[in-house]
Amino acid sequence: MTEPIPLTHRETLRIMLGLLSALGTAMIGATVIANALPAILLDLGGSPTELTLIFVASLTAMTVTMPIWGKLSDQLDKKRLMQVALVIFVVGSMLCGTASSAPWLIGFRLIQGAGMGGVTVLTQTILASVIPPRIRGRYNGYYGAVTTTATVSGPLVGGLIVDAPGLGWRWVFFVCVPLAVGSLVLLQRFLKIQHVPATVRFDYAGAMTIAGSIGLLLTWITFGGELFAWRSWASAGLVGSALALLAATVLVERRAADPLIPVAIIRERTTALAIVASMVVGMSVFGASVFLAQYFQSARGISASLAGILVAPMMLGSLLGAVASGQLITRFGRWRRFLLAGAISLVSGLTLASTMSITGSLWTIVIAEVLIGLGMGLLMQNLVLAVQNTVDLPDVGTASAAVAFMRSLGGTMGVAILGALLASRLGTLEAAGVPTPDAYAQATGSTFLAAAAIAVLAVLAVLAIRETPLRTTIRKTPAPDPQPLDSAQ
């Protein structure tokens, strides 16, 4: 296969507009429901367990389907796949908005989540298929900014929609539809991507074992301590089954002719370390926004809408980190220093957030949010860039999906595990007679301290990554001096 024809900066921006509008819509769709759950419960009824499932269903479907979308993108037309993913997302969103009961809404959220998984992975894959790594940092910065900003702002958007006269919780889902349709139009008009027809060989056994193991693991994390005790036969059965399927996945993928997640790619040093760091970033992206919003409401007595606004400093930090690092990486061709700065900023922000109290200064929390957001922006897309630089074009979808998959899994697991820690600590403090607002502030601080300890893994992973020069070609071929191509952009 020949090297794809380089795009002009204007052509790239047109494609980016369609891709980022689709990505932002999908990411908002994942978290926009957070502040709408009380209204949904009031209208549709349902148990606390069903309420939890409504929130996590889309995240679970998104996580489980990511490797599948990534593998398909290496074999099929990426543009058509993106259109399919957007259609699935639109259909799922419309069905969610018309749901008549909690069980139906849970099922429709699974459909919506499958579309989200495709949009998330295919955006990264398409970028890697049209832009060489040496200049991709500039555009990846925009990607990272949109991802974190949309994810963190989702609860705020949801709260504003629910509180708006004449709207209500159903519009939380309907509002995503015109944005996704607009993205479809833009991509159909401007996205031109080379595709060479090839024989499709799908790893069905790998897909089933991966989906089964992750599904069981997320079920255990989500409902542990609620439907069953952490130390119980039910808990042991779920964990044992998940580990057995995980072991089966390794065996299946090692023997498959065209594995869903090639072991050789995952074992590559940069990819393996980037996966570890991505899990930590995922935990921070989802966990920080959720627990900070809860702290503002439960400890400070702030309304849901204002709580969403107070999380804005984290979005600004993320935007600054993603865009600035993307521009600098494109200019100098060095990326590891930005990963290290991001990991240190993330640990520092989480540690500072752990000092929050009911009477402490809000400025301390604002500074912590900026540091956390800066860490997210510096890490998220630059980890993907580092991995994409190590693989050739035929494997870029699989490699990108592996990183996105682990980031999403880390986010889902992080929220569940840290949420369980928060609940346990809160119960202990209230039992000791501490007033609920103060107890909530202390428990949230303990949760962020635990998150900071976990985030140290990101620092260690980045320190162990070896920096390799960013190639100037889309395909993995010997690269000439990068300066002329960089200047042309």
DSSP secondary structure letters along 75-105 = TS-HHHHHHHHHHHHHHHHHHHHT--SHHHH
pLDDT at res. 488: 38
Q: pLDDT value at position 147?
A: 75
DSSP conformational letter for 130: H
Mean pLDDT of 349-356: 88
Tell me the angle at which helices 396-431 and 436-464 cross, rounded to the nearest 10 degrees.
Answer: 150
99 vs 436, higher pLDDT: 99
The region of weakest confidence among 280-294, 334-348, 458-472 is 280-294
User: Which residues in 262-375 belong to E strands, given as ranges?
Assistant: none
Give the pLDDT of residue 200.
61
182-208: average pLDDT:
75
Pick the residue with more confidence: 50 or 434?
434
pLDDT-derived band of residue 486, with 50, 70 and 90 as boundaries?
Answer: very low
Reported as a pLDDT band with limits 50, 70 and 90, residue 3 is low
87-140 tens-digit pLDDT? 999 999 999 999 988 889 989 999 999 999 889 888 878 877 777 766 666 676
Report the C-alpha gap between 436 and 225 in whole angstroms.
21
168: pLDDT strictly greater than 60 = yes
Give the model's pLDDT for residue 20: 84
Percent of the chain predicted with pLDDT > 90: 10
pLDDT exceeds cutoff 60 at 487: no
Residue 485 pLDDT level (bands cut at 50, 70, 90): very low
pLDDT 10s digits, 206-222? 778 888 887 888 778 77
> Average pLDDT for residues 334-341, to the nearest whole number?
88
Higher pLDDT, 423 or 371: 371
- CA atoms of 463 and 472, how far apart (whole Å): 25
The neighbouring-strand residues paired with 431 are: none
Tens digit of pLDDT for each residue in 12-36?
777 888 888 888 888 888 778 877 7
Arithmetic mean of pLDDT, 377-392: 79
What single DSSP character describes residue 228? B
pLDDT, mean over the chain: 79
Structure tokens of 89?
């997302």
pLDDT, greater one: 142 or 488: 142
Name every residue whose Cβ is closer than 8 Å to that of residue 369 and which is 6 or more positions away in sequence: 288, 292, 311, 313, 314, 317, 349, 353
The pLDDT of 399-416, averaged and rounded, is 73
Residue 333 has pLDDT above 70, yes or no: yes
Q: What is the DSSP code (8-state) at residue 393?
A: G
Give the pLDDT confidence score for residue 132 in this predicted structure.
73
Question: Contact 245/214 with Cβ under 8 angstroms?
Answer: no
Residue 311 has pLDDT above 80, yes or no: no
Confidence category of residue 349, pLDDT binned at 50, 70, 90: very high
Cβ contacts of 51 within 8 Å, gap of 6 or more: 37, 40, 41, 102
* Mean pLDDT to the nearest integer, 30-47: 77
Cα–Cα dist 137/425, whole Å? 41
**pLDDT surpasses 70 at 467:** yes
Task: For 64-99, write each residue's pLDDT tens digit.
Answer: 888 888 878 777 788 888 899 999 999 999 999 999
- Confidence (pLDDT) at 480: 46
Looking at residue 484, its pLDDT comes to 41
The percent of residues above 70 in pLDDT, for the chain, comes to 85
Q: What is the mean pLDDT of residues 242-271?
A: 79
Q: Is the pLDDT of residue 223 over 50?
A: yes
In CATH, what is the architecture of 9-191+262-470? Up-down Bundle (1.20)
d(CA 402, CA 160): 34
pLDDT confidence bin for 343, thresholds 50/70/90: very high
Q: What is the pLDDT of residue 8?
A: 67
pTM exceeds 0.85 for this model? no
Nearest CA among 78, 77, 63, 129 for reference residue 396: 129
